[in-house]
Amino acid sequence: MAPVASGLTDLTIAEARDALAKGTLSARELTEAQIAAVEAARPLNAFITETAEQALEMAEASDARRRAGAAGALEGIPLAIKDLFCTEGVPTTAGSHILDGFKPPYESTVTAKLWAQGAVMLGKTNLDEFAMGSSNMTSYYGPVESPWRRPGDDRPLVPGGSSGGSAAAVAARAALGAIGTDTGGSIRQPAAFCGIVGMKPTYGRCSRWGVVAFASSLDQPGPLTRSVRDAAIMLGAMAGHDPKDSTSVDTPVPDYEAALSGDVRGLKIGIPKEYRLDGTPPEIEALWRQGIDWLRHAGAEIRDISLPHSSYALPTYYIIAPAEASSNLARYDGVRYGLRVPGADLTEMYENTRGEGFGAEVKRRVLIGTYVLSAGYYDAYYNKARQVRSLILRDFTDAFGEVDAILTPTAPSEAFAAGEKMDDPIAMYLNDVFTVPASLAGLPGISVPAGLSANGLPLGLHLIGRAFDEATVLKVAGVLEQAAGFDAKPQFVAGGR
Amino acid sequence: MADTNRGLVQGKTGPWEMVIGLEVHAQVISESKLFSGAATGFGAAPNSQVSLVDAAMPGMLPVLNGHSVAQAVKTGLALNAEINLTSVFERKNYFYPDLPQGYQISQYLQPIVGEGTIELDLPDGSTKEVGIERLHMEQDAGKSLHDQHPTMTYIDLNRSGVTLMEIVSKPDMGSAEEAAAYIAKLRSILRYLGTCDGNMEEGSLRCDVNLSMRRPGAALGTRTETKNVNSIRFVKLAIEYEAKRQVQVLEDGGRVVQETRLFDADRGVTRPMRSKEEAHDYRYFPDPDLLPLVLDPDWVEEIRKELPELPDARKARFVDDFGLSPYDAGVLVAERETADFYETVVTSESGKRDPKLAANWLTGEFFGALNRSGIALAEAPVDAKKLGGLIDLIADGTISGRIAKEVFDTMWESGKPAAAIVADQGLKQISDTGAIEAIVAQVIAASPKQVEQFKAGNENILGWFVGQVMKASQGQANPGLVNRVLRAKLS
Amino acid sequence: MAVDRATVAQIAKLARIRVPERDLDALAGELSNILSWIEQLSELDTEGVAPMTSVVAVELPRRADAVTDGGYPDKVIENAPESAHAFFAVPKVIE
């Protein structure tokens, strides 16, 4: 395949921003290079819809704006958008058959904010169906392949999920950055598997309006990028109060880039003992200890903390998320949009449409959710889960009385091969063991690529912060990034390495 | 619970009591919907008052209308009910094409309004207190049209998301009459408050009837629910039919099935609703897109202070201040506009008019004319001032009651004030004794036979004489005076 | 807690999802597995703990009563699999 023009696709957002500002690069050139990369990356199946024509139009408009003296925070930056965000006039599938043909007549708040800051849309990325999964194996549009391979092993690997397409695209240099959603780890875990940065902001930081809902009390949009600085830049553009979302919080958006001082002296970093699990590979434990050392050397104080109810986080999540999802997905009924499979009467039409339109994992979760909410079980499951969730939040609130950030591994393994862990849903659910607690507590979390496994695959470290303290989370992440010096590239880079 | 007032249904094997509870769904008067900014007016083109939120498009989220909350609180206060300062919106999950989200946002365990009371005015003049169980807010559903196409149902979502108040009574009613009185009073209160227009034909007030039958004094029987009855008349018919049906089932040794039914107005029967055959498990849970609703007690107090005078209070005042009978007062206060009109007539700038005379005229001739014309009070060609003017002319003897009726008809047709019509047509009552004596003398002279009959002891012939004098005076002679003069002359 | 095929059929009915007869047992097995796993929550003593209503500690916002939306029936209908004269159309429901 033809090499891509002069490494443009390897730039970070910050670097591209500088070049564009200096005028050494035009938005059109950058987008053209990126479009070629998107095409080159097709074997990964990271994109469901490519929007090359629209991207070029947006890039032209960006250059025109710049000539007129205006430039937004993401002016001319080509981004990939998880296909869970409704984008006006552009097919939006949620990775599902049931949204066949659906073209939203509206734009999600978060993507509208990106375009208002001058960004360019490359396309809609692949994902686990309705954001339910940790491997991007459940999409109706086929699995996404990670750009990483084990050297000498040609089995495709999973990019993680559910934002697998976004993570793969960024890692493969098919986009400078991407957005995804994180409900139990769906940005952070694929970021770790793909060796990039992925952040879940505080619940309520970014608007959910126009994001296809999975679990309303957990879903949160966030950035996937190749550097912590890029994540800070994107978060600044994405965050903010939205009166159309009643769970969106009206609190000012700080200058996240300015928070990247690199100075963590005196900050207290908590190490939760309950996150030491039997069965975590020793190299991940080792990387965690390495992360602790890095921060200690940078002047942070390390404290052991306890988050006593951590082991109950996953089952709590797998009651609450499916319950909310079972209700959120009731609107997919073949009446007003998407797939309709005919039936002898209305009930059959519903049952056929949803039976054919939803994949196996979605069906499982909708049925679990329906069950735990049903008469006789509400108290034992759903209400109980909400109580445990209160306890988990209390654990964090207590811990943050002692420390300013918490450090854990992101995932309990490196990326696994496509098709593995598919026999037992619970094995798949365990991928999120380190990321789910922060989701339940609504706290910000970030994954930073910190090292490579013995198999040469990326491993991430995970930081959790106080509510609306993304600034501290990004600051500590920046220090980890600096110390780790992770510069490995995947085996597959669009347009060649 | 007042058990003593229940009407009884006679079955083959003895008497049965009705136990009736009513759930009323009242559409709230507001510009926009409960959780979306789309308009709420009736009769718009299909799907033209539908936002993306109402259509339940992917990614849409609800945002609460503050005015809907105020309307619900206002209504709760008017029902003497507890206002719950914390209430929670929950999702009621079920599938139906006019329910686009696949769930209705409602309130379940923690409604905004708790227990209250309402006083019924019964036809015999007595009153009965009925308990209110609760009032909560919820979304209305869209409309399904089943008769537009042979094999398809058409869906219009204009109504989807409009604010409803569901007002649940305690099962304190024992007859169709009481149920009708309940709806009438509730409707009146809602219209006084301006929280619902109570238009049952347009569907802004709908009634679900819960009814069970039992032997007097026995435990409660199984109840059925007859949904969406949209007139008071149909509520009475549905109750009467359903009561008889249940008695028949029970006396035949069967069991009443707990089910949801519809009232078929064409055939005057209730029948089971097909789509509700299966037991519903609504899987209520708090809506995660909405936080609990917390009300400031001061804000609630402000609303309480601004409550208008309600029908019961106004009725009491009309009885006390105007000396009206409770029945007449009740008729006048049923609609706020009528009560306002009446008070304007009675309390003129020049002083208070005779309240009973005003009441008689309003409920008699005026209401009669309104009904015949088929118009609303606000459109009447005779306003309160003009009616007052007419009453003044009666009160000061300018015209008789009978002439006043003719004048009123002319006022109705022409819109002119009474005084002008009386002047134009020279209808002033003749109260000049001299003039009347002259006419009486003429009539007596012309009717010797009748004079004979009177002198022979036939008192009733006096009426004939009065009629003759009235005819001779084109009805303008003062009848009371005519009577006196005749008696004097004939004796 | 195990769910049997009859329960699965019942839940599928509630959720309006067709599950072919031949899949009921396997699905019952999968669901039972997941339910047993989530049941470990019953080990925890949660006496007196308030169930979490929301992670955001803000008041429910209320908006002013004004018409700010709707009035675009074409947009509302444009994605419908079947529509007629600005109505959505579905197989007829008999009440």
Residue-by-residue pLDDT tens, chain B, 491 positions:
444 445 788 888 889 999 999 999 999 999 999 999 999 998 999 999 999 999 999 999 999 999 999 999 999 999 999 999 999 999 999 999 999 999 999 999 999 999 999 999 998 888 999 999 999 999 999 999 999 999 999 999 999 999 999 999 999 999 999 999 999 999 999 999 999 999 999 899 999 999 999 999 899 999 999 999 999 999 999 999 999 999 999 999 999 999 999 999 999 999 998 655 556 799 999 999 999 999 999 999 999 999 999 999 999 999 999 999 988 999 999 999 999 999 999 987 777 899 999 999 999 999 999 999 999 898 999 999 999 999 999 888 888 888 889 899 999 999 899 989 988 877 777 777 788 888 888 888 898 888 888 888 888 888 888 888 888 888 888 888 888 888 888 87
- Please report whether residue C37 resides in a domain: yes
DSSP β-bridge partners for residue B227: B262
Check if A208 contacts B (Cβ < 8 Å).
Answer: yes
DSSP element (H, E) containing B134:
strand B127-139
**Which of B63, B281, B291 is facing A374, going by the closest CB pair?**
B281
Domain containing B275 equals 8-304
Domain containing C29 equals 5-42
E strands present in A110-260: 120-125, 177-182, 197-200, 220-225
Q: Are B96 and C95 in contact (CB under 8 A)?
A: no
Q: Which of A102, A247, A327 to mutate to test the interface with B (most CBs of B within 10 A)?
A: A327
For B289, residues 6+ apart whose C-beta sits below 8 A from its C-beta are: A216, A246, A247, B61, B62
Q: Which of A205, A312, A319, A336 to mutate to test the interface with C (most CBs of C within 10 A)?
A: A336
- Please report whether residue B443 resides in a domain: yes
The residue from B304, B333, B354 where one domain ends is B304
Domain count, chain A: 1
pTM: 0.92
- Please report whether residue C80 resides in a domain: no
- Please report whether residue B208 resides in a domain: yes
- Among B281, B289, B371, B326, which Cα is nearest to B95's? B281
- Among A126, A150, A119, which Cα is nearest to A38's? A126
Token pair listed for C10: 């019942």
For chain A, helix (H) and strand (E) counts, in that order, are: 15, 11
Q: What are phi and psi of A216, to 5 degrees?
A: -60, -30
Based on the fold, state whether residues B317 and B293 are members of the same structural domain: no
**CATH number of the domain enclosing A385:** 3.90.1300.10
Based on the fold, state whether residues B300 and B203 are members of the same structural domain: yes
The residue from B383, B400, B425 where one domain ends is B425
Based on the fold, state whether residues B358 and B233 are members of the same structural domain: no
* CA terminus-to-terminus distance, chain C: 38
Domain count, chain B: 3
pLDDT of residue B274: 66
What is the DSSP pairing of strand A120-125 with strand A78-82?
A: parallel
Based on the fold, state whether residues B419 and B459 are members of the same structural domain: no
Rounded Cα gap, residues A324 and A382, in angstroms = 10
Q: What are phi and psi of B457, to 5 degrees?
A: 115, 0
Helix, coil or strand: residue A221: strand
Q: Is A495 left (phi over 0), alpha (psi -120 to 50) or beta?
A: left
- Please report whether residue C13 resides in a domain: yes
Q: Other C-beta atoms within 10 Å of A359: how many?
A: 21
Q: What are phi and psi of A341, to 5 degrees?
A: -105, 120
- Please report whether residue C88 resides in a domain: no
Is the peptide bond between A162 and the residue preceding it cis, with omega within 30 degrees of 0? yes
Q: Are B238 and B226 in contact (CB under 8 A)?
A: yes
Rounded Cα gap, residues A198 and A190, in angstroms = 8
DSSP string, B350-385: TEE--HHHHHHHIIIIIHHHHHHHT--GGG-SS-HH
What angle is formed at CA B71 by the lines to CA B66 and CA B72, rounded to 5 degrees?
100
Based on the fold, state whether residues B160 and B125 are members of the same structural domain: yes
Based on the fold, state whether residues B30 and B159 are members of the same structural domain: yes
**Which of A210, A213, A246 is facing B64, going by the closest CB pair?**
A246
- Please report whether residue C76 resides in a domain: no
Based on the fold, state whether residues B364 and B458 are members of the same structural domain: no
What is the DSSP pairing of strand B269-272 with strand B260-264?
A: antiparallel
Domain containing A272 equals 1-497
CA distance B259 to chain C (A): 14
Which residue in chain B is spatially nearest to C71 when comparing CA positions?
Answer: B48
**CATH number of the domain enclosing B452:** 1.10.10.410
How high is the ipTM of this complex? Answer: 0.96
What angle is formed at CA B381 by the lines to CA B376 and CA B387, rounded to 5 degrees?
100
What percent of chain A is modeled with pLDDT above 70? 98
Based on the fold, state whether residues B320 and B269 are members of the same structural domain: no
Rounded Cα gap, residues B72 and B135, in angstroms = 8
The residue from B304, B339, B363 where one domain ends is B304
Whole-number Cα distances in Å, A480 to A227, A290, A330, A457, B157: 11, 10, 43, 18, 53
- Please report whether residue C64 resides in a domain: no
CA distance B316 to chain A (A): 45
Rounded Cα gap, residues B255 and B221, in angstroms = 9
- Please report whether residue B2 resides in a domain: no
Q: Are A99 and A85 in contact (CB under 8 A)?
A: no
**Which of B91, B95, B290 is facing A246, going by the closest CB pair?**
B290
Which residue in chain C is spatially nearest to A330 when comparing CA positions?
Answer: C15
pLDDT of residue C95: 62
Q: Do B59 and A105 touch (CB under 8 A)?
A: no
In a 13 Å sphere around the CA of A204, the CA atoms on its Cβ side amount to 25
Based on the fold, state whether residues B108 and B239 are members of the same structural domain: yes
Based on the fold, state whether residues B206 and B230 are members of the same structural domain: yes
- Please report whether residue B277 resides in a domain: yes
Check if C66 contacts A (Cβ < 8 Å).
Answer: no
- Please report whether residue C92 resides in a domain: no
Q: Are A476 and A462 in contact (CB under 8 A)?
A: no
Q: Are B179 and B229 in contact (CB under 8 A)?
A: no
Helix, coil or strand: residue B264: strand
Based on the fold, state whether residues B323 and B443 are members of the same structural domain: no
Q: What are phi and psi of C70, to 5 degrees?
A: 80, -175
Sheet containing A268-272, strands listed edge to edge, beginning at the edge strand earlier in sequence: A47-50, A120-125, A78-82, A177-182, A220-225, A197-200, A445-452, A458-465, A405-409, A268-272, A301-305
Which residue in chain A is spatially nearest to B279 when comparing CA positions?
Answer: A375
Check if B463 contacts C (Cβ < 8 Å).
Answer: no
Domain count, chain C: 1
